[in-house]
Amino acid sequence: MKRKLFLVGSLVMLTLMIAFISYLFIILFGNYAIDEEQLQFNETSVIVDQSGETISKLFIENRDVVTIEQIPEHIKHAFVAVEDVRFYEHHGFDLRAIGRALYRDILAGAKVEGGSTLTQQLVKNVYLSNEKSWLRKTKEVLIAINVERRYSKDEILTMYLNSIYFGHGNYGIQTASQYFFNKDVNELTVEEGALLASIPKAPYHYSPVVDKEKSGERRNLVLALMAQHGFISDKEKEKHQAAEIRLDIQESEEQQAYYTYLDMVIAEASEKYNITSEELLTNGYQIVAPIDQTLQKQAYQVIQDERYYPEGSTDAESAFVLMDTETGGVLAVQGGKEYVRLGLNRVNVKRQPGSTLKPLSVYAPVMEKGDYHPYSLVNDEEMTFAGGYAPKNAGGIYRGEITVYEALTHSSNVPAVWLLNDMGIDTSLDYLQKFGFHIDERQLGIALGGLNEGVTPFELTKAYRAFAAEGKIIEPYFIEKIYDSGGHLIAENKSEEKEVISEQTAWDMTRMLESVVEQGTGTAGFSQNSLAGKTGTTSFEGVSGGTRDAWFVGYNQEVVGAMWLGYDRTTEDSYLTGGSSYPTKMFKEILNESPSHFQQVAWRVPSTVDDLEPPVKLPEVNDLVAIQSFGGEGLVSVALSWSASEDSRVQYRVYEVNGEERTLLSTVVGGNFYYQPKLNIFSTSHYEVVPYDSLTHQEGTRSNIAASEFKFGFH
């Protein structure tokens, strides 16, 4: 018997020791489990435009954290009344509530009531799973006790209200307030606060969006509990219960029009400011972007519209980027017609630029060197260069000898290669590097954009900015400023300009590229803005007449950008059936919808440059008349007259023609007549005039031959 009692006593002691050790372990576990970082809830970051309007939110859990001072007393009372009326009296768990819940569980024969305090609910939300077991419940109670030891009641209530889920993707009281009522939490009425307090028990079941009637019943129960516990009077209860539920739902739809821009903001935050994607999703930043929402949406609508694509190529892809000429801030960007988040961004994909590279690889460099100016003459005849390279002009059109201005306007290939050959490839590559490209292909084909690797729409936009902004480039950017969750400025864009060509060269290029749009290869479509730019196409050798890439890069003194059209992979089954007229029309259509502050109807000539005179248009003279007569002193002379151009820069060379021989008599400046003395009054002389371009020093078409006729008279 003694032995049996000893064994029982030993067993009891062992059990007590195990229980005591287990209790100590759990207490220690409870202390260890309080990870303060977990109580710093993930906050939603927001991207806004420069006016402060929200573009998009970035979050894992959509939550806007608020402080206890921002939460009205009646909101606190509503949650305390319905969830934990003894909140300010207990120390983390409530024995009365647990006893009551246990009693009801026994009566029901199942676990039907939790009896959890607000502190326990906070612990469950932050640290524990939703598993219903006594072990989990024990952990919950012990951690709750330690939370109460470490934090004040106000701190716990604030953490609770910022942690709870209200359904429809909304975490925390502030986000729920914005979602259901479109107002901040400090603006909520008593009945609105009671409605929100009624939701967390069963967010879907009690959602006013799902079932307004059931939600109203639950709200009125909360109001009744508030009155029962003295938070409001019975009269106030009746007033608020009678109030109609008025919602102002704010759905946070992600719009496809913004996908590319959002991805490029995230990428820039990481690459330029070392803010990871996870930090963006959890740290509650406010990011100010230079985006223009009107242009962003318009760009999306245009690239989605099949009417802007060549017939037979409506499934082609496209890419577009537009930036503020002055600042370098990207106003709009589209990475493709079928762009998906974090997918292939065609703004950054290298493609063959075609003739859009000519201004950068040839024309700006040769003029910057000073060897040529816009009205210098260049060769435009079929020829073969070193290595057997024999470029062809589009359509087989050759004009013999033309100006640099004309060569660029009509995008003639031979003059571009001729100029590059004369200037030297090294000079071209040096300037391309200054413009921001990384090209090291030592062949004459770079004059025409024939590259092995290609360039991106983003790079072309950056480079063409030099023509729009007095010869300077700037790094395009997507983030203007970044504020932390406390509203402190932590990062700011500080892009600096870099001069690559002179102001004079930039302005001369602008005047020539303006001509491209007005009378050259860029005339397709309609633009209500001043616009300069360059088209480009690359042929697909696999199909006669097929196109691989089609481009338009355009600008004025307000905006600069690029539009590309093509297929990700060009094959005999997938190739463009049209050329650069399509991206040209698309670019202009987007620009036509730009806000008034980006509209430009006239160029502003910089005070530091000499404006480039427009080309001289030589007239055809076909009404030359020669009249021979006696003068007032008995002398015989021939009076020549013709119809002259109103352009005073047109001069006229007067020739006497004798068979195949032509003798230059004089050059008439700014007139339409000429007197030639004559000794032999009985002979007939023949004359012609030839218009002469004082800019290019070229003669135009010869006039009709006029024979001198004798008439009596005095002059």
DSSP string covering 219-274: HHHHHHHHHHTTSS-HHHHHHHHHS---------PPPGGGHHHHHHHHHHHHHHH-
Candidates 98, 73, 72; CA nearest to 84 is 98
556 vs 143: CA distance, rounded Å:
65
* Total residues found in the chain within this entry: 715
Which pLDDT belongs to residue 679? Answer: 63
Look at residue 633 and tell me whether its pLDDT is greater than 70.
Answer: no
Predicted confidence (pLDDT) per residue in 345-366, tens digit:
999 999 999 999 999 999 999 9
Taking the CA atoms of 499, 500, 504 and 506 in sequence, report the sign of the dihedral they define.
Answer: negative
Q: State the chain's mean pLDDT as an integer.
A: 87
Candidates 528, 574, 521; CA nearest to 551 is 521
Residue 38 — very low, low, confident or very high, per pLDDT cuts 50/70/90?
Answer: low
For 362, phi then psi, to 5°, come to -130, -65
589 vs 299: CA distance, rounded Å:
9
137 vs 292: CA distance, rounded Å:
53
Which pLDDT belongs to residue 431? Answer: 97
Mean pLDDT of 295-319: 96
Residue 148 — very low, low, confident or very high, per pLDDT cuts 50/70/90?
Answer: confident
DSSP H helical segments within 520-637, as ranges? 581-592
Which pLDDT belongs to residue 208? Answer: 93
Look at residue 715 and tell me whether its pLDDT is greater than 50.
Answer: no
* Sequence-distant (≥ 6) Cβ neighbours of residue 631 within 8 angstroms: 637, 714, 715
Tokens of 161: 């209200």
Is 152 among the residues known to form the active site? no
Candidates 77, 99, 93; CA nearest to 196 is 77
Look at residue 574 and tell me whether its pLDDT is greater than 70.
Answer: yes
Catalytic residue among 83, 140, 268, 589: 83
Which pLDDT belongs to residue 341? Answer: 83
Candidates 359, 502, 506; CA nearest to 419 is 359
Predicted confidence (pLDDT) per residue in 480-510, tens digit:
999 998 899 999 999 999 999 999 999 999 9
Q: Which residues of 413-431 are buried (b: 16+ CB within 10 A; e: fewer)?
A: bbbbbbbbbebebebbbeb
Predicted confidence (pLDDT) per residue in 502-536, tens digit:
999 999 999 999 999 999 999 999 999 999 999 99
Candidates 490, 528, 575, 60; CA nearest to 316 is 575
Side-chain half-sphere exposure of 140, counting CA atoms within 13 A: 26
Catalytic residue among 56, 355, 594, 703: 355
Domain boundaries, the chain: 1-32, 64-242, 625-711
425 vs 419: CA distance, rounded Å:
10
CATH pick for 64-242 out of 3.90.550.10, 1.10.10.10, 1.10.3810.10, 3.40.50.300: 1.10.3810.10
Fill in the amino acid letter for 549: D
* Sequence-distant (≥ 6) Cβ neighbours of residue 625 within 8 angstroms: 640, 641, 642, 706
Which pLDDT belongs to residue 191? Answer: 95
Tokens of 424: 């030297």
Candidates 507, 556, 515; CA nearest to 410 is 515
Strands 286-288 and 45-48, sheet pairing: parallel
666 vs 592: CA distance, rounded Å:
51
Residue 112 — very low, low, confident or very high, per pLDDT cuts 50/70/90?
Answer: very low
Largest CA-CA distance found in the chain, in angstroms, rounded: 170
Look at residue 8 and tell me whether its pLDDT is greater than 50.
Answer: no
Beta strands in 161-222 (DSSP E): 170-171
Strands 625-630 and 636-641, sheet pairing: antiparallel
Q: Give strand pairing partners of 687.
A: 656, 706
Look at residue 714 and tell me whether its pLDDT is greater than 90.
Answer: no
Which pLDDT belongs to residue 317? Answer: 96
Which pLDDT belongs to residue 136? Answer: 60
Tokens of 469: 């902004």
Residue 110 — very low, low, confident or very high, per pLDDT cuts 50/70/90?
Answer: very low
Predicted confidence (pLDDT) per residue in 367-421, tens digit:
999 989 999 999 999 999 998 999 999 888 999 899 999 999 999 999 999 999 9
Distance of CA 301 to the CA centre of its chain: 14
Tokens of 207: 């959602």
Distance of CA 517 to the CA centre of its chain: 24
Whether 191 contacts 219, CB under 8 Å: yes
- CATH code at 625-711: 2.60.40.10
Is 83 among the residues known to form the active site? yes
Whether 291 contacts 330, CB under 8 Å: yes
Which pLDDT belongs to residue 79? Answer: 93
CA distances from 113 to 102, 107, 366, 673, 677 (A): 8, 11, 85, 112, 124
Look at residue 133 and tell me whether its pLDDT is greater than 60.
Answer: no
Q: Which residue has the tokens 């709750």?
A: 144
Residue 13 — very low, low, confident or very high, per pLDDT cuts 50/70/90?
Answer: low
